[in-house]
Structure 1
Amino acid sequence: MSRWRLHTAAYALLLPFLLFYVLFMLLPLGLGLFVSLYNWSFTGDKLFVALDNYKDLLMDSDFWASLWHTFYFVIISTPTLVILGLLLALLVNLKLRGSRLFQTVYFLPNLLSIAVVTAVWSIMFQPYTGFINAGLHFLGMEDEIFWLTDPGYAWYSILTATVWWTVGFNMILFLAGLQEIPKDLYEAASLDGADRKQQLWYVTIPMLRRVTVLVTMLQVIASFKIFGQVWLMTKGGPGNATRTVVQYIYETGFRQQNMGLASAMSYVLMIVTLFIVILQFRLMNEKEKAGGIS
């Protein structure tokens, strides 16, 4: 078969994906940028305002507050989900009795919809009747904790539901990475006198560096896009204490019917997320080169 025929076959196989990519990724990106330059409403009325939406955005204190709330969730969720995912993968990889069952149990919540997850945890976090408070009362705590309406506890309640829902996916990625590490490395380390702790620190973790970069980047992106848990559990409250930037975009676009400003917010969020991910990737890549991991 000639090279031309090989290329033709390859492009023919790629064509369906490329069509979907253009239709559902590139076209919406271009349309969003176009809309962000207009004062655009649901009624079809539009007025070209150039960069005025972006100027208004810079002066909008509610937008910056919601962006900070999103950053805060990224800060508390990313290390938690990455570390717990690694620990669960290490536990399952020990191949103890029942490890297959634990692997399934840890991953199953990832298959549930966000509506089911938030409904379950909202019930568990209810004051007076919720399972969490009932357990604390059983242990001797007398005070009633309002998990979803107290600014001091709301974010950690959302984090708990998110961890239970999504940590299984990170565990699967780490587990795949663990199973790709050559056994010869552990045997060589054992012959050199390395105990299990030293093998973990000097063999397992360095060999998982690429998987860790992938998991961390995916987690940062997912945390920046958080909306469902917050909307269904707290509606952004109490007050606006847990309102994220995606929720603010939704409220601006669909409640205030200002699609131009909402599109501008979406582009700013995309740029911020892209910048953080690229910065994170470069820092980890430089650390990998310094450590001599190829």
Structure 2
Amino acid sequence: MSAVGLRRSRLSNGLFVLPFVAIYALLVLWPLAKGMAISLHDHDLLSDDSFYVGLDNYVQLAGDEVFHQVMWNTVKFVLISTPIFVIVSLALALALNRPGRLGALLRGTFFCASVFSVTIITLVWKLALMPERGLVSQFLNKLGLPDMALLSSDALALPTIALVTVWWIIGLPMILFLSALQQIPSDIYEAAALDNTSRWRTLTRITLPSLSRTIVLVAVIEVIREFQVFPQIMLMTNGGPNNSTRPIVQFIYEQAFMQLSLGYATAASQVLFAVMLIGVSLQLWLERDRKGVRQ
């Protein structure tokens, strides 16, 4: 192929990806650049006044104790919920990966909660967690255990909301694991059965290695999603008690739409994006490192 023909071929190939690149730049790169620019300004939502302040917003965030608290709350929520999501959804997928009506019914039952709105889920759980009259309190009383105001405890409120979140949206990671399980060739399991391989050895030597990419995918999805936790906390505790459940997204919302400090809120959102990027990159790097060790 001549040099002219090669250039034309490259140009025509580039035209195929041009719509994607244009939409990606419009919806991702441009908002990122615009957000970074706004974070360097003192911007008031009530007026068009905007003053360049450089890194002052980031310096103020570094010394803001409330921001430190909400950042730690968010990280703690991710550390609590993500391992539970991966382990429980994988266990459910392994238990329900079988033909028959019962398996289909149970799969649908676990998945259906994820299609409900956050308003319905939080209303149901707030009623269930009510002190003295709630379903959880009555169950504890039947067992002879003391009543616990879970949503009013500084130590227990965030783990309680994490468990509610897992109950609510466990369906999606479960379906991802089910799909991956059904892609594993049945011949491998038949060969393992002929060799009288135990269930535990089959799980650890065949199933889990075959699911490694899906495990990473689920973990990354949940890290990204749980770093953006907001509505269930807003509706269940409004960040209380004593800011013990207040996430960074609520902090950004309050700074932007209640304090009307758009530049400061945007700086906080840039910090959130950087933390999410670091967390996901670290997760992918650790998984790649494990693969390199196994090879």
Scaled by the length of structure 1, what TM-score is found? 0.92
Equivalent residues in 2 for 1:194-233, closer than 5 Å? 194-233=197-236
Equivalent residues in 2 for 1:49-198, closer than 5 Å? 49-95=53-99, 97-141=101-145, 143-198=146-201
Asked if the contact 1:209/1:288 (under 8 Å) is kept, the reply is no
Change in 2 beyond 3 A, CA 1:4/1:36? closer
Counterpart in 1 of 2:242? 239
- Deviation for aligned residue 1:20: 4.4
Counterpart in 1 of 2:16? 10
Q: Matches of 1:5 and 1:73 in 2, distance apart?
A: 47
Cα deviation digits, residues 53-92 of structure 1 (max 9, x gap): 1111111111111111111111110100110000010011
Change in 2 beyond 3 A, CA 1:264/1:4? closer
- Aligned to 1:85, the other structure's residue is in SS state helix
- Deviation for aligned residue 1:144: 2.5
Aligned residues with identical type, % of pairs: 39
- Deviation for aligned residue 1:251: 1.3
Q: Matches of 1:258 and 1:153 in 2, distance apart?
A: 32
Scaled by the length of structure 2, what TM-score is found? 0.91
Cα deviation digits, residues 109-141 of structure 1 (max 9, x gap): 111111111111111111122111122222222
Counterpart in 2 of 1:37? 40
Aligned-residue RMSD, C-alpha: 1.9
Q: Matches of 1:5 and 1:51 in 2, distance apart?
A: 41
Q: Matches of 2:129 and 2:153 in 1, distance apart?
A: 12
Asked if the contact 2:140/2:147 (under 8 Å) is kept, the reply is no
Equivalent residues in 2 for 1:255-294, closer than 5 Å? 255-292=258-295
Q: What is the total number of aligned residue pairs between the two structures?
A: 287
Q: Matches of 2:271 and 2:223 in 1, distance apart?
A: 16
- Aligned to 2:260, the other structure's residue is in SS state coil
In structure 2, which of residues 52, 75, 99 is the aligned counterpart of residue 48 of structure 1? 52
Once the two structures are overlaid, the 10-residue window that deviates more, 189-198 or 249-258, is 189-198
Change in 2 beyond 3 A, CA 1:45/1:134? same
Change in 2 beyond 3 A, CA 1:23/1:8? closer
